[in-house]
Amino acid sequence: MNKKHTDILIVGVGLAGIVAAITAAKSGKNITIITKTKSLVSGNTPWAQGGIVFKGLQDSPEKLKKDIMHAGAGHCWEEAVNHLCKNGAQLVQDILIDTLGVKFDKEKDDVTLKRVSEGAHSDARVIYNQDKTGSSIHEAALNYLQTLENVTIVTNHTAIDLLTFSHHSTESTDIYKKPACFGVMVLNNQTNQVFPMLASKTILATGGLGQIFLHTTNPKEATGDGIAMAWRAGARCFNLHYVQFHPTALYHPSGRFLISEALRGEGAKLVNASGNEFMHSYHDMGALAPRDVVSRAIHMEMIKDDADCMFLDLSHKASDWINNRFPTIYNYCLNKGIDITKEAIPVVPAAHYSCGGIGVNLVGKTSLKRLYAIGEIACSGLHGANRLASTSLLECVVWGYFAGQDSIEDKDDADYFPPMHNWKQGTDTIDKARLAQEWLSIKNTMWNLAGLMRSQDKLHSAMHILRNLQSDVEQLYQKSQLDPNIIALRNGAQTALALIASATEARESCGTHYVEG
């Protein structure tokens, strides 16, 4: 079997993976960073619109800590919150501003960064670049990454599974060693060749899981691969049931697209198909009620009216003003045939952010030796049961940096690479209709039974459906010639089942986990 070896292997070229790579690269070690997508522009990072937490002019780490802990509904890990509040602003300055040269919007003096406040922030501390912050950060980060000589960037390669002593060593006594990861089994999407990438340290930075739900703001690669790989390898995962839903994503056959809360902040009305506003019958604050309240209200109205979507109407505002204030949203909708200056935008709530994930410590270490997890795929404990807006990009920077630093240290028996079993692959060709059907089942089950409004009955039904489905999909995977689609389906089914397991155990209705009754 053809094997490749690297000192540090990073799976994912979102912000977390890149920050880890550029930090670790300073050591001179060989770094390999892979993505399953053809393009380096991938993952949730380039889609972020709002901004990233920095520091307000009257701000303090204590004030930020209070806001994060409040949003997390008593479930945050205080040490993780302290870690971010203490180090976050300095790392944004050092890495994003001074090293990568990200262009954040500035005041008229052309020096002071513009800052805004967002829902549940007690200070204006979020910096941004128009309504395309994620893509500006990602572009600068990719440009810098590509200048580093000891970093090999590999596109169009899908991580299949983590390599562990207990699963892959032919040395039978290796199962008595402390569980450890020594790299990743990878599929070259173009040649269909499967080979092990051996690494002293492996860092998972595979992003979100939104695609396991019918409606999501996440791109199609967000299939929860990291969680599924970690789960199969026996790494601890927790808080998976805390998935934040965004109230308004564009409802269009081409897919969903985030319609920022700022529209409601600027007076957009939430209406049903007859043009009637409904939010005041759910909350005194109407359309400006908290995110989860608005999401559930839209969901209930859709069920009540048997409707596919509700509508967000800003057309009472002047066209020029809309065009200047929301250029990205205006142009995106116009491209889809919706002129938001003249008509209401069809919207649905959508799965947006995973607060849980692979359990990690302050430097991103998981419960498996030699394995780190960072960014959205990880559960650092920062977000608890709900995320404070614009803290996720900052979490990528902070945990990316500390994992990058820690991974360069030669510890944890990182030079042991056991002899391996030969890779066996199925020969069946994959029936695309079957793949489509299995995805539809996962997405509908998760949306209807484990989405915005859960109950023990619904979760048990979901568990029943997904247990059978996951077992069928696993069998399909074992028998098939591998391609990226069957790998994504296998991971989606596994992650969905893991989320349901987490939700059925969590009896308390809290944060993003809303249990009816």
Q: How far is the CB of 226 from ligand FAD (least distance, A)?
A: 7
Angle between helices 484-505 and 225-233 (to 10 degrees): 70
Q: How far is residue 370's CA from residue 183's CA, in Å, rounded to a whole number?
A: 9
Contact 393, 279 (CB under 8 A): no
Q: Which residues, at least 6 apart from 299, have a Cβ–Cβ distance to it below 8 Å?
A: 349, 451, 452, 453
Determine, following the binding rule CB under 6 A, whether residue 33 of this chain makes contact with ligand FAD. no
Give the shortest CB-436-to-ligand FAD separation in angstroms.
20
- Examine residue 348 and tell whether it contacts ligand FAD (CB under 6 A): no
For the four alpha carbons of 365, 23, 50 and 118, in that order, the dihedral sign comes to positive
- Is residue 492 near ligand FAD by the rule CB under 6 A? no
Token pair, residue 318, equals 């002047």
- Rounded distance, CA 154 to CA 191, Å? 14
CA 403 – CA 374 distance, rounded (Å)? 8
Q: Let me know: does 354 contact 228? Beta carbons within 8 Å.
A: no
Residues with active-site annotation: 291
Stretch that binds ligand FAD, among 10-18, 55-63, 262-270, 409-417 (CB under 6 A): 10-18
Q: Which is nearer to ligand FAD, 159 or 459 (CB)?
A: 159
Query: Using the rule CB under 6 A, which residue among 135, 169, 295, 390 binds ligand FAD?
Result: 390
Name the residue nearer to ligand FAD (CB basis): 257 or 282.
257
Q: Binding to ligand FAD by residue 366, rule CB under 6 A?
A: no
208, 214, 217, 223 alpha-carbon torsion, rounded to 10°: 20
Taking residue 2's Cβ as centre, other Cβ atoms within 10 Å add up to 7
In the complex, minimum distance from the CB of residue 318 to ligand FAD, in angstroms, rounded to a whole number: 26
When binding is defined by CB under 6 A, the residue of 375, 381, 404, 511 that contacts ligand FAD is: 375
Query: Applying CB under 6 A, which of residues 23, 49, 407, 470 lies at the interface with ligand FAD?
Result: 49
Q: Per rule CB under 6 A, is residue 159 in the interface with ligand FAD?
A: yes
Place of tokens 């559930």: 296
Task: Give the integer Cα–Cα distance in Å for 121 and 119.
Answer: 6
For the bound state, the minimum distance from the C-beta of residue 390 to ligand FAD, rounded and expressed in Å, comes to 4
Tell me whether residue 16 or residue 76 sits nearer to ligand FAD (CB atom).
Answer: 16
| CB nearer ligand FAD, residue 204 or residue 503 | 204
User: Which token pair is 302?
Assistant: 């859709």
Which residues in the 71-130 window bind ligand FAD by CB under 6 A? none
Residues that bind ligand FAD (CB under 6 A): 11-17, 34-37, 42-45, 47-52, 133-134, 158-159, 205-208, 217-218, 221, 225, 258, 353, 375-377, 390-393, 396
